[in-house]
Structure 1
Amino acid sequence: MSQPLVAILDDEPQIRQILAEALGDAGFRTMTFGRASEFEAALKQCVPDVCLVDLGLPDRDGLLLVHRLALDSGAAIIIISGRAQVQDRVMGLELGADDYIIKPFEPAEIVARVRARLRKGRQVAERTTQTARFEGWTALFDSYTLVSDMGEQISFSNAEGQVLRLFLERPRRLISRPQMQESLGGVAGESFDRAMDVRISRLRTKLGEDPKNPSLIKTIYGAGYIFLGDVHWE
């Protein structure tokens, strides 16, 4: 079986070289790009398992590229950026990134984050059931789509799908932040908590929830979350 393929998109040649060498030494295949146009052209030929994306690109808005990747590719997306502001991290995660790493970074951490994303992806792929019905909605995990009983279709990202599936697999059970971190991977801390807040907020919006009084995904302050719908897997 071939080794996972990691795409590296960064306009700094030294960064590309550091990442490619660290990942290559860890047994990954890599392909590197300095411009978004080159990266997008390559995606027409093959889809990587993980995309490492810098936001400061010379020919494209990095955040818009991340959003498109999240909706279209199904690959895990890790942003690696010098933008350390909270709003940048929130926006990146909100638009569908699975993780956000701030430069400067340790190459070993990048390798560990990539491995964590791939482990989670394998766990999801091993599940044979890809359709769940709940409270007027159908979640199609093979196509990253929510379908309402009225026929409305709403796309969700890979990252949002991981959170949604966690809730649907454990309905009416409290899920704590540590349990979410253990199930979804990632590094516990402020960044992980913020990522979960963003993804849950987006899921509530897509499900038509009242943000002040959601009926499906309830916040139990100081404890975690609980999904209150009835779920049927097919």
Structure 2
Amino acid sequence: MNQPLVTILDDEPEIRRILTDTLEEAGFRTQSFSRAREFEASLKRVVPDVCLVDLSLPDTDGLALVHRLALEQGAAVIIISGRAQVQDRVTGLELGADDYITKPFDPAEVVARIRARLRSSRAPAPQSEIAEFNGWTAYFDRYVLEDGSGSETPFSHAEAEVLRLFLDSPKRLISRSQMQEALGGGAGDSFDRAMDVRISRLRTKLGEDPKNPRLIKTIYGAGYIFLGDVAWR
């Protein structure tokens, strides 16, 4: 079995060296890039299992790059950035990142976060990658939601994981701890914020009333419940 491939995009040589040494010692294959242009060119040849992306890049907007990766690639995207403000975290997660790690970081934590993402993405999938529910069709093979009129809305890899979790367990309460066990990621406020952002974005894409959603209900103090009728095909 091939070792998972992690790509590193950061313009700081020392950061690239630390991450490369740590990840290879932990059993990962790595590729590192200092420029987004080289990084994006490599994606045409091979899609990595995980992308580590710095936001402060010399040749592109890091947040825009994260958004493109989330919509167009099958890799998990973890932001590693010196931007520690809450709004930067929220924006990164809203644009589709799977996780957000601030600099300075503990290399062991980066390894743990990557392993959590890989465990999540390797969870057993349904026989089919298409689910129908309440007038919607979700195509997990191409990350698209289709409404009854045939109009399509793309969703990110991170949003796909949350939606799949709901569709696999309709009309059952899913607690925050169950979500973390299933999806991985950092514990505490960082994980809760990530889930809030992804669920909010899914509700928007499903045309939900944020004050009274019909499909994804928040059970305060307990978790979430998906109330749709789901059929996989």
| Residue 167 of structure 2: aligned partner | 168
| Residue 28 of structure 2: aligned partner | 28
Partner amino acid, structure 2, of 1:201: S
Contact persistence 2:180–2:187 (CA under 8 A): yes
- CA shift, 1:129, in A, is 2.2
Task: Quote the Cα distance in structure 1 between the aligned partners of 2:64 and 2:186.
Answer: 25
Contact persistence 2:136–2:147 (CA under 8 A): yes
Contact persistence 2:99–2:186 (CA under 8 A): no
| Residue 92 of structure 2: aligned partner | 92
- CA shift, 1:127, in A, is 3.6
| Residue 106 of structure 2: aligned partner | 106
| Residue 72 of structure 1: aligned partner | 72
| Residue 154 of structure 2: aligned partner | 155
Task: Determine what percentage of the aligned residue pairs are the same residue.
Answer: 73
Determine helix, strand or coil for the equivalent of 1:201: helix
| Residue 184 of structure 1: aligned partner | 183
| Residue 11 of structure 2: aligned partner | 11
| Residue 222 of structure 2: aligned partner | 223
Task: Quote the Cα distance in structure 2 between the aligned partners of 1:2 and 1:187.
Answer: 26
| Residue 45 of structure 2: aligned partner | 45
Contact persistence 2:23–2:111 (CA under 8 A): yes
Instruction: Give per-residue Cα distances to partners, 1:70-125, cap 9 Å, x unaligned.
Output: 0001100000001110000000011000000011111111111111111111115x
Partner amino acid, structure 2, of 1:148: D
Partner amino acid, structure 1, of 2:70: A
- CA shift, 1:59, in A, is 0.5
Determine helix, strand or coil for the equivalent of 2:52: strand
Partner amino acid, structure 1, of 2:163: L
Moved over 6 A (4+): none
Task: Quote the Cα distance in structure 2 between the aligned partners of 1:118 and 1:210.
Answer: 33
Instruction: Give per-residue Cα distances to partners, 1:49-70, cap 9 Å, x unaligned.
Output: 1000000000100000000000
| Residue 196 of structure 1: aligned partner | 195
Alignment of 1:137-148 (within 5 A): 137-148=136-147
- CA shift, 1:128, in A, is 2.5
- CA shift, 1:149, in A, is 1.3
| Residue 214 of structure 1: aligned partner | 213
Instruction: State yes or no: 1:130 paired with 2:124.
Output: no
Contact persistence 2:7–2:32 (CA under 8 A): yes
Task: Quote the Cα distance in structure 2 between the aligned partners of 1:44 and 1:147.
Answer: 27
Runs of 5+ unmatched residues, structure 2: none
Task: Quote the Cα distance in structure 1 between the aligned partners of 2:136 and 2:113.
Answer: 33
Partner amino acid, structure 2, of 1:75: A
- CA shift, 1:2, in A, is 1.7
Task: Quote the Cα distance in structure 2 between the aligned partners of 1:205 and 1:143.
Answer: 19
- CA shift, 1:5, in A, is 0.8
Partner amino acid, structure 1, of 2:136: W
Determine helix, strand or coil for the equivalent of 2:137: strand
- CA shift, 1:187, in A, is 2.2
Task: Quote the Cα distance in structure 2 between the aligned partners of 1:27 and 1:179.
Answer: 28
Determine helix, strand or coil for the equivalent of 1:139: strand
Task: Quote the Cα distance in structure 2 between the aligned partners of 1:118 and 1:220.
Answer: 29
Compute the RMSD of aligned alpha carbons: 0.9
Normalised by the length of structure 2, the TM-score is 0.98
